[in-house]
């Protein structure tokens, strides 16, 4: 059973404050490592707070889609967080290091919905039918938990360890793509830093999206037309250093990139 609301609100505020004041210790005093219900309650408090403060939700991100990472955190399911419009970095543009704490980049496939998805038994086929198009994406994950010493509950409470994201400009209908075998290469300053494939994302990116839609429906929520879905990493994430030029290339889907630096005139 989730802890009393007052305690959860205090933890939610600590996470919000950490964005600007610096990372905090793990939330072990209020969260058991696998306590999803309490962790999502904290996430929801901050989602509501940010919405009331004027931020606009434009989609969701899925995390922990790799079986190896699930095993590391001793969980058997992915997690999710909310995407806000001010988290998007335009393709090819700058992300200021001053906006991050301890960022890492990972390449993903993003789906943009052309229809609502609100059924608790959403299938991968349902997701495919509801998807308007797919694009290459980079998610810049970040953590408000010091030194990334996270449990499953920590990352859920912390909005899925979200940070920023970049979308490619090439839009593709799903029927033109093979999202299972497509290869991924993530380059940092022109050097290969991470390799992967669509199958690394919960067996298929559509599996991840179907899990998200079904899970949200079970919680009384849903996905809406126009939502952006970051379906999960296709390969290992890579820590960023100021000055890095990051480029993700996904076979058949396209590429996207950004520069981890203060913008120059």
**For residue 238, is it within any domain?**
yes
Q: How far is CA 28 from the centre of its chain?
A: 23
pTM, entire model: 0.95
- The 10s digit of each residue's pLDDT in 3-51 is 556 899 999 999 999 999 999 999 998 999 999 999 999 999 999 999 9
Distances (CA, A) of 68 to 105, 170, 195, 259: 18, 31, 15, 29
pLDDT value for 1: 43
**For residue 70, is it within any domain?**
yes
**For residue 200, is it within any domain?**
yes
How many domains does the chain contain in total?
1
pLDDT value for 215: 95
Q: In whole angstroms, what is the distance from residue 170 CA to residue 172 CA?
A: 7
pLDDT value for 75: 77
Q: In whole angstroms, what is the distance from residue 209 CA to residue 198 CA?
A: 13
Q: Does 265 score more than 70 pLDDT?
A: no
User: Residue 126 — very low, low, confident or very high, per pLDDT cuts 50/70/90?
Assistant: very high
Instruction: Find the mean pLDDT for residues 168-182.
Output: 97
* CATH assignment at residue 131: 3.90.850.10
pLDDT value for 224: 97
The residue range of the domain holding 94 is 5-260
Q: In whole angstroms, what is the distance from residue 64 CA to residue 139 CA?
A: 13
**For residue 65, is it within any domain?**
yes
**For residue 265, is it within any domain?**
no
Distances (CA, A) of 143 to 120, 155, 192, 198, 255: 30, 8, 24, 25, 25
């Amino acid at each position: 059973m989730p802890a009393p609301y007052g305690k959860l609100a205090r933890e939610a505020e600590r996470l919000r404050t950490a964005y600007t004041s610096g990372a905090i210790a793990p939330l072990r005093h209020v969260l058991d490592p696998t306590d999803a219900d309490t962790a999502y309650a904290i996430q929801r408090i901050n989602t509501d707070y940010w919405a009331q403060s004027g931020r606009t939700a434009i989609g969701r991100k899925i995390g922990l889609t790799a079986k190896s990472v699930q095993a590391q955190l001793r969980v058997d399911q992915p997690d999710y967080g909310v995407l806000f419009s001010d988290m998007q970095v335009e393709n090819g543009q700058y992300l200021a290091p001053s906006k991050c704490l301890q960022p890492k980049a990972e390449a993903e496939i993003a789906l943009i919905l052309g229809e609502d998805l609100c059924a608790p038994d959403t299938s991968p086929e349902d997701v495919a039918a509801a998807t308007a198009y797919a694009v290459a994406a980079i998610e810049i994950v970040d953590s408000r938990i010091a030194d990334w010493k996270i449990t499953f509950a920590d990352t859920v409470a912390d909005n899925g360890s979200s940070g920023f994201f970049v979308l490619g400009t090439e839009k593709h209908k799903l029927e033109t793509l093979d999202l299972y075998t497509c290869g991924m290469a993530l380059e940092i300053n022109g050097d290969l830093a991470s390799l992967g494939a669509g199958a690394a994302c919960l067996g298929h990116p559509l599996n991840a999206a179907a899990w998200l839609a079904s899970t949200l429906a079970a919680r009384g929520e849903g996905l809406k037309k126009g939502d952006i879905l970051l379906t999960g990493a296709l390969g290992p994430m890579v820590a960023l250093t100021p000055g890095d030029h990051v480029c993700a290339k996904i076979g058949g889907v396209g590429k996207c990139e950004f520069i981890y630096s203060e913008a120059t005139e």
